[in-house]
Chain A
């Protein structure tokens, strides 16, 4: 019944200016239940790729399909969870408020500002991220790592079938990092969701992902171990 959310990119170019694409000829398929990690140097266009898939930047060229929608101006409500690199939290609102924003998108129609399911889901996600004590605190008073966990909690509460995560494990100590990673991975397994994650740490990326991709020199290519020394250069 749930055929999952699939991303498919067909010869897509991404970037902000028509004449200066960052990455060209992107071909990528993400099936449900799959975890794909993208690594690559800073400023190459990893975030831009996620924003393109999320419908925030129009692709310069090519066919983009997200959740069976072609070239979506905006993805279907609640299907796509996005953990931006800059988190995108409402800094002047509480942790609860932020997580509820995700839960509402995932559980309610736009005209229903509240539902018991959404509340329960938000509560669970906050618990999973170990933030119960901070539930009522304003996000701007949390530490960097706590804020990162709020962003993850928001996406977990949303229960999307596709998660785009942009370096969501940054600023966390090893132990917390593992908790967060496990929570997301077990969610993906449970719901048979797809996860596309950008990660600068190759060890971590390898640990999470079924497939590793490398973004380099304007291309997205499968990551091969032997490429590593080239990249270090």
Chain B
């Protein structure tokens, strides 16, 4: 409190009072230095980087390129019954892709249904620490292993196939989405909660009448994000036999048919880009910033229903 009535302006004020804080700059520089030192302690020979480039070129020229698009052709067996022109729907790429999408969808929905109540308990602004910390522990536990480890676990338990994929991704979704959800819930402003407490609402009334509507935009946009995330990770869990397009990738990796693998990867890449785009578009309906030109999330739903109803 010493300089309170002191009008003089020292050099120190000039440095620390800049629009950026010089302390932050210092902090980042030391962070970068630290990471260089740590990396250096692990890497014995930086010269390996030189070979990396040439190795990559040889790899691409000899086995990766061009992609083998036969993965988009129908399989020999079972016989393809699709209409002509739609025969790609019998291809391994298509079948795997659709399966991955289905797994992602189901596990996102299941995961959300399970995580929502847990995250309501986990929110510190709604519960005492005695309730919120156990709930957080459950969420953290199911998030602590990456979904591929859960997939290995469930493949052991219930065998190969999409079921173990769904279970694995659901468990991971509960942990990850639950964390996003309780953060969204804790982010709502305090005064609606104050008013609700003063009125004497019960926990259920407060959760469903105040918290969920107030946090709905965030919750919905995170669920959409989670779906996209689950699709990306769904490609990986197939590698351990938990269904989806990853199964075929793993197959051709084993046979060293890298040109087919790259074809799958390109397809996944395109779908991820597409999903990303759709997800950004859809999520923009649920944020307040877009309120000016969009009609919010109720408007989004009414727009969908209006599309269905319109006769022409």
Contact = CB atoms under 8 A, between A and B. Distances in A.
Interface in A104-118: 104-106, 110-111, 113
Given A88-B193, A90-B210, 15 more contacts: A55-B197, A75-B200, A81-B198, A83-B195, A84-B191, A84-B194, A86-B189, A87-B191, A88-B194, A101-B196, A102-B199, A138-B296, A138-B298, A151-B195, A158-B199
Given A75-B200, A92-B216, A104-B205, A84 B195 contact: yes
A113 B202 CA distance: 11
B209 A104 contact: yes
15 contacts: A55-B198, A74-B200, A76-B200, A80-B198, A86-B191, A88-B191, A89-B195, A90-B214, A92-B217, A92-B296, A97-B213, A101-B210, A104-B205, A104-B209, A113-B205
A56 B194 contact: yes
Given A80-B199, A158-B199, A140 B291 contact: yes
A74 B128 CA distance: 14
State the main secondary structure of chain A at its contact with B: loop
Nearest to B208: A113
Contact count band on A? 35 or more
B198 A101 contact: no
B214 A81 contact: no
A80 B296 contact: no
A54 interface: yes
State the main secondary structure of chain B at its contact with A: helix
Interface string B180-200: 000000000101111111111
A168 interface: no
B288 interface: yes
Contacts of B209: 90, 97, 101, 104
A51 interface: yes
A199 interface: no
Nearest to A83: B195
Interface in B250-272: none
A82 B195 contact: yes
A29 interface: no
Contacts of A56: 194, 197-198
A20 interface: no
Contacts of B210: 90, 101
Most buried by A among B191, B194, B195, B296: B195
B205 A110 contact: yes
Contacts of A26: none
B199 A92 contact: no
Contacts of A54: 194, 197-198
A164 interface: yes
B56 interface: no
A227 B214 CA distance: 44
B189 A79 contact: no
B201 interface: yes
A138 B217 CA distance: 13
A88 B195 contact: yes
A140 B288 contact: yes
A78 interface: yes
A93 interface: yes
A28 to B, nearest CB: 18
Nearest to A91: B214
Contacts of B192: 88-91
Interface in A5-61: 51, 54-56
A147 to B, nearest CB: 12
Contacts of B191: 84-88
Given A89-B192, A90-B192, A105 B200 contact: yes
B199 A51 contact: no
B198 A75 contact: yes
A141 interface: yes
A141 B194 CA distance: 22
A90 B217 CA distance: 12
B38 interface: no
Contacts of B307: none
Contacts of A87: 191, 195
Contacts of B189: 86
A160 B200 CA distance: 11
A185 B152 CA distance: 68
A82 B209 CA distance: 17
Contacts of A158: 199
